Structure formats: structure tokens, C-alpha cells
Amino acid sequence: MIDFQDGSVKFEDGFSAVLGLNKSKFIINSVSAGGGNLGEILPLGEHVSESFRWGVGGVFENSCLRQLWLQCLNPPGVLSGIADLANEMARRDFHDKWLMEFLRKYSVKGKKNGAASYEAQMAWGKIASVLDMRGVQAIILLDYKF
């Protein structure tokens, strides 16, 4: 799903996202980041990898992909459609485990750090499992370097 070398993401249904992806590739209603410096936030749909469904979103800056958000929608132990802290903590635990396994395949050591449960620096940027306490949402965040 995530390419270790360049941080691109490819799903079994054919959807892919790569650093520098231009937002004009998507005909989606965009949501402004409200005057912040994040750029535009776009939902990029639900996609499948192995037996898991993933919600995908992107942050575009100057029309180019800057961040990619991945959220497993059907991990074991997480109740569908319930957005509460206990449920999102269970999702975060799944994301942590998934990310640790991904990094272990490439002999990359991650670390616990602040809001990120688990993160690692990569040649293309940073990957982290994050529990956003304001939005009560657990995601895997790919933050690309420019």
C-alpha cells in the first residue's frame, strides 16, 4: 500500500497518490483550511488494501499534495460509525501496530513522540500514527517534504 522508497500510496482498486500529485486530478468539493497554513483539505474517498477499507484525505498546498491522511475504517475491535475517544484509541492502536509492522519490514526504527503514538522519518518525509484529540480521530499521516 505505501511505497517505502517514495511514499506513494497505491490501493487495490487502482487509486494512487504520490508526492506532487496535483489536486486538479480530482473533481471533489474542497474544504478550505480556514485561513491556516495547511492549504486545501480534500477527501479522496474510500479505498481497499488487503481486507481493510481505508478513508483517504489529502492536504494540498499550491495545488500539490503536501500531506496524506489514511484511516482504517474496519479494523478489529473498532465499532463502525461511532466517533468516541475509546473507539478512536482502539483505531489508533491498530494504526500503531500496522505502522510498526510496515517499518519493521524495512528495518526502520520508529519512535513515540508527542501527539504521534508512533512515527518515523523517511527520505520523502515523515509517517506517523496520530490521535487528534480535538477532532477525536485516529489517522496515519504521511507528511511529505517539498
pLDDT at 115: 65
pLDDT tens-digit series, residues 58-74: 988 887 888 999 999 99
C-alpha cell at 69: 491522511
Does residue 39 register a pLDDT over 80?
Answer: no
The predicted pLDDT at position 61 comes to 83
**Residue range of the domain that includes 77:** 9-16+38-144
Q: What is the pLDDT of residue 27?
A: 37
Model-level pTM? 0.84
- The separation between CA 98 and the C-alpha centre of its own chain, rounded to angstroms, equals 12
- Residue 54 makes CB contacts below 8 A (sequence gap 6+) with 1, 11, 46, 47, 48, 70, 71, 72, 73
Lowest mean pLDDT among 8-17, 26-35, 48-57, 81-90: 26-35
d(CA 132, CA 139): 8
Q: Which long-range contacts (CB under 8 A, 24 or more apart) does 35-43 make?
A: 38/66, 38/67, 39/66
Q: Report the domain count for the chain.
A: 1
Residue with cell 486545501: 40
> Containing H/E element for 32?
strand 31-32
- The verdict on residue 24 lying in a domain is no
* Domain contains 97: yes
Q: Is residue 28 part of a domain?
A: no
Q: Is residue 22 part of a domain?
A: no
49, part of any domain: yes
Tens of pLDDT, residue by residue over 74-83, are: 999 998 888 7
Q: Evaluate whether residue 33 is within a structural domain.
A: no
How far, in Å, CA of 125 to CA of 144, rounded? 4
Q: What is the pLDDT of residues 16-30, one digit of tens each?
A: 887 666 565 553 433
Residue 4 lies in a domain: no
Three cell numbers, residue 108 = 526502520
* Strand, helix or coil for residue 62: coil
CA–CA distance, 42 with 25 (Å, rounded to integer): 12
**Arithmetic mean of pLDDT, 81-106:** 92
Q: Looking at residue 24, what DSSP letter applies?
A: G
SS3 29: coil
Give the pLDDT band of residue 31 (cuts 50, 70, 90): very low
Q: Is residue 29 part of a domain?
A: no
